[in-house]
Amino acid sequence: DIQMTQSPSSLSASVGDRVTITCRASQGISNYLAWYQQKPGKVPELLIYAASTLQSGVPSRFSGSGSGTDFTLTISSLQPEDVATYYCQRYSSAPLTFGGGTKVEIK
């Protein structure tokens, strides 16, 4: 199976900071990569798919990039409501697999 590794596992940043989360696939997955946001006690919400396509309704401060094995999720200006755990997910083939998550907190 293709493994997805996220880093860091957690981070703390100030409001307004630029935040970058990385996701690495153990094999190339083209751009079949999605990002989810899961706020505490809530259901995961799709933020980005096809590595860089913003899901409808998602604020433009979120962006995604990458292809092949290395991907990034960037929050251009961290807001208090962005406190959450972020997961990457590959969907190039079965089994669908998720990264371990990155917990984002406000400093």
Binding site for another protein (CB under 8 A): 1, 32, 34, 36, 43-46, 49, 55, 87, 89, 91-101
Q: Which is nearer to another protein, 26 or 77 (CB)?
A: 26
Report how far residue 75's alpha carbon sits from residue 11's, in angstroms, rounded to the nearest whole number: 13
* Residue 23 beta carbon to another protein: minimum distance, rounded to whole angstroms: 12
Q: Are 71 and 48 in contact (CB under 8 A)?
A: no
Q: Which is nearer to another protein, 44 or 68 (CB)?
A: 44
Report how far residue 26's alpha carbon sits from residue 84's, in angstroms, rounded to the nearest whole number: 25
The secondary element (H helix, E strand) that includes residue 7 is strand 4-7
Token reading at 9 = 């596992």
* Residue 97 beta carbon to another protein: minimum distance, rounded to whole angstroms: 7
Q: Which is nearer to another protein, 17 or 24 (CB)?
A: 24
